Every structure is written in structure tokens, then in C-alpha cells.
Amino acid sequence: MKTPQAVTEDIRRRLSGKWHAHLAGDEAAFPHAFSLGRPATSELRADYSAVHARTMQWQDWAKAHEVVLDYENRTAKGGTTQSVPTHARVVSIDHAAALAAGDWADRLARARLRLGVLRDKYPHLDDVGKTLRTLDAYGEVDFGLLLSVADWYRRDPARANLGVTPRQVPIPGVHAKWLQSHRRGVQALTGIDDLGLLPGHPPRIHFTYLDPAHLAAGRRVHDSATAGDSYTPAYLPEVVVISENKDTAIHFPALAGGICVEGVGKGGKTPASFPWIRDAAVLVYWGDMDRDGYEILDGYRADFGRDIDSILMGPDAYAVYEPFGTELDQTGRILQPGTPRPADRLREEERAVYLRLLDPQHTGHRRVEQERIPLTKALEEVELVCRRMASRDDQ
């Protein structure tokens, strides 16, 4: 039999997945009877006391939360008949919001107000529920701006043919980057599939030359390249180090034939589009020891279509540098355990740390930033990879 905490999570999942369709009238997600699980007959006959204790727990919880329980009669130890709870009935979406707690009551109240606006001003909407879900993350200011921008386009649909960037759309009161990040909402309210906006600029990479002879000649140290452009670096590197963080990439020590590329976040499609990176004899990735770092590494291997060596991302490095770690992510929020992704391109030692960092029982820091590791140590690890590759090629 489930615990009240487990069923509360079931309620949250159903609410999270269906609230928008319920409010829009597309699907009646509530009332709903949530299963409490069914004790095995052997359990009832061997130790009914445990089932009775859980039954009492459910009755206390149901009374405190105004939940009606369904029961069925079961045969217990000694052939006695006992009434065992089977389902918890949640009578409405507002009842579910109260049980889920958090900000659900406020979210539903806000969504109902917006639903009224959508039906009044935009009766042409094909999927009101889907649009309502899209707008859930909008604050009041952004929602007001969305209505203004949608009305601006609807007054003259030809404005979708201006051929300007999202920052250049001439709508009073709308700041430069707003349309760039809220395009989906505008398209939903206007029914205009293509707002006629010019595509964003192609992605770029930034990198640092590491070769001592190149640097001694007084040539440029830092460079950049645009994806899709015709470009060749000052020299074709034998070793490319992709570093997740800018500081470590910019200040990486001198390395013969080396270039250090700044990471571009999740996914490696941009650096993989440059043949001189993709085809380098030695390709190394160095990231933070945290959830993102390992998932980025897994994504890079997929996007490059080849194996990529990593440095300082295994159990030994974690053991040495964990005391210098942190419990906060980049935004200052406390890192939480979580469900690991398949990440099947991680090597055994990398995956061991990845799973450890997501384990609810883990007591160490869940993030060790690159910057906490000496660059001289990183250079040693890269040189070790180079020697290993050279030895393999000689065999």
C-alpha cells in the first residue's frame, strides 16, 4: 500500500500534466480516484498489523485533507474480514491544487483569468488549453506585452513581412529582446505561423591559441570563428581542448600544437561543424563535475560522432577536489538529487561520478567547478592523453 506522500506525488503529476486541458474543457482530469495500492493476500494473512497501521495513517490523512476513501473487504489473518482502503477521491481540480500545495492555487487562479481573456479576445484559437500552458510561465508584465504585440500584428497581418530581426520590430513599449524569447506566444494568439523575422545570427566559437612557437612570435592569442563561414585558424591544431568555462579556456597553459575552445553550453553541434576541431588527432573535453558537465560531455560525443577523451571528471579527481566544491548551481539555487538520463556515451568512471552526484543519499558536494582545479594539473592530464594516443598509434 502506498504512503500518503506517494499518492500526493501522483496528484501533483496528474495536475501538472492535465490542468490546462481541464480548465479549457478538453479533458475532465478531476474528480479522480487515486489508487492506494493493494496489499497482497499473503501480507494480510501474515501480518495484518502493518496493513492496519497504514490504514490508520490513511484515515488520519484523509480527515485532515477532506478526502473520501474507498474501501474493500479483504480476508486477513485468522480468516477475519477487514476493511482496507483502496482509493483516495480528489473531488475537483481546486481540491487537487490544495493537496499539491506550493503555488498551484495561485497558478490556477491566474490561468482562469487568462482563459477568460483568451476566449474573449482570441476566439479563433484552435487549442486554448495548449496556449494556456504555453503562457503559464508568463509574468503579468509579459502577459500584458504579449497581448499588445499580438494585437499589433492582428491589426495589420502584413507586418509579418517587414523582414526585420526580433529586436527591430517597431512596437512601442516592447524592449529589444522580448519578441526573441516570446515568439511562440505571439504565434499562438495571432495564428501567424511565420512572423517574417530574420533568423538570428549564426553561432560562433571563441578559442585561444596555445602553441608556444606561435605565441613567441607575437601573434594573436585569442580568436573567434562563425559557423558556416570560410575560416582557417592560424595553424591546424594537433590537440583541441574544449573547456566548459571561459576562464579556464582563456588561461589554459601553453601546449604544443594546441588550441583551447570555449564550450558553448549543452550540445556540441557548433564546435563539431568546424573540421579542424572535429578531426583533430587529440580531442579532449574538460567540464565541471556536476550534472550538467556530464550530460554536456555525453551530448558532445553524440554531436561529434566520435569518442572524446575527458580529463578530471573521474572518481579520483572528484575525491581530491570535492572539498572545494559547492552546493549551489550557477543561479545560486541549491543543487538537488535527481533522475539520471541514459547518458550512454559516458565512460564507466565518468558515469560513476554522475550517478553519485544525483544520488539522494550522497552527502558530498554536488558540483566541483573547473576553476577550483589548478590549470597545471589540467595540462598534465592533457599531456597524458596525448602520450596515450601516441603510444596507441605506434602499436
- CA gap 12, 97 in Å, rounded: 8
pLDDT(179) > 80: yes
pLDDT(128) > 70: yes
In 3-state terms, the chain is what percent helix, strand and coil (to 5)?
50, 15, 35
Question: Which pLDDT value is given to residue 198?
Answer: 73
Which helix (DSSP H) or strand (DSSP E) does residue 383 occupy?
A: helix 375-394
At 8-65, the pLDDT tens digits run 999 999 999 999 999 999 999 999 999 999 888 888 888 888 888 889 999 999 999 9
At 205-240, the pLDDT tens digits run 999 999 999 999 999 999 999 999 989 999 999 999
Residue 278: CB atoms within 10 A of its CB come to 16
- CA gap 392, 304 in Å, rounded: 21
Question: Which pLDDT value is given to residue 183?
Answer: 86
pLDDT(201) > 90: no
pLDDT(309) > 90: yes
The sign of the torsion formed by the CA atoms of 151, 152, 156, 160 equals: negative
Question: Which pLDDT value is given to residue 143?
Answer: 94
- Mean pLDDT within 256-279: 93
Question: Which pLDDT value is given to residue 194?
Answer: 83
Which domains can be identified in the chain, with CATH numbers?
4-100 (no CATH), 106-190 (no CATH), 204-394 (3.40.1360)
The three-state secondary structure class of 41 is: helix
- Please, which pLDDT band fits residue 264 given cuts at 50, 70 and 90? confident
Question: Which pLDDT value is given to residue 176?
Answer: 67
Parallel, antiparallel, or unpaired for β 239-243 and 258-262? parallel
- Please, which pLDDT band fits residue 312 given cuts at 50, 70 and 90? very high
Question: Which pLDDT value is given to residue 17?
Answer: 95
Instruction: Classify residue 206 by its DSSP letter.
Output: E
- Please, which pLDDT band fits residue 395 given cuts at 50, 70 and 90? low
- Cβ atoms of residues 136 and 111 within 8 Å: yes
- Mean pLDDT within 244-259: 96
Region of poorest pLDDT, from 28-42, 182-196, 309-323? 182-196
- Cβ atoms of residues 118 and 132 within 8 Å: yes
At 322-374, the pLDDT tens digits run 999 999 988 888 999 999 999 999 999 999 999 999 999 999 999 999 999 99
Q: For all residues of the chain together, what is the average pLDDT?
A: 92
Share of the chain above pLDDT 70, in %: 99
Which helix (DSSP H) or strand (DSSP E) does residue 298 occupy?
A: helix 291-304
More confident residue, 207 or 159: 207
At 379-389, the pLDDT tens digits run 999 999 999 99
- CA gap 281, 268 in Å, rounded: 18
Main-chain phi, psi angles of 70, to 5 degrees: -95, 145
Question: Which pLDDT value is given to residue 317?
Answer: 98
pLDDT(192) > 80: yes
More confident residue, 71 or 157: 71
At 92-113, the pLDDT tens digits run 999 999 999 999 999 999 999 9
Q: For the whole prediction, is pTM greater than 0.75?
A: no
Question: Which pLDDT value is given to residue 167?
Answer: 76
Question: Which pLDDT value is given to residue 161?
Answer: 79
- CA gap 372, 262 in Å, rounded: 17
- Cβ atoms of residues 108 and 23 within 8 Å: yes
More confident residue, 267 or 260: 260
Parallel, antiparallel, or unpaired for β 258-262 and 204-209? antiparallel
pLDDT(146) > 90: yes
- Please, which pLDDT band fits residue 162 given cuts at 50, 70 and 90? confident
Nearest Cα to 171, choosing from 197, 194, 193, 192?
197
- Please, which pLDDT band fits residue 259 given cuts at 50, 70 and 90? very high
**Cell 523582414, located at residue:** 163
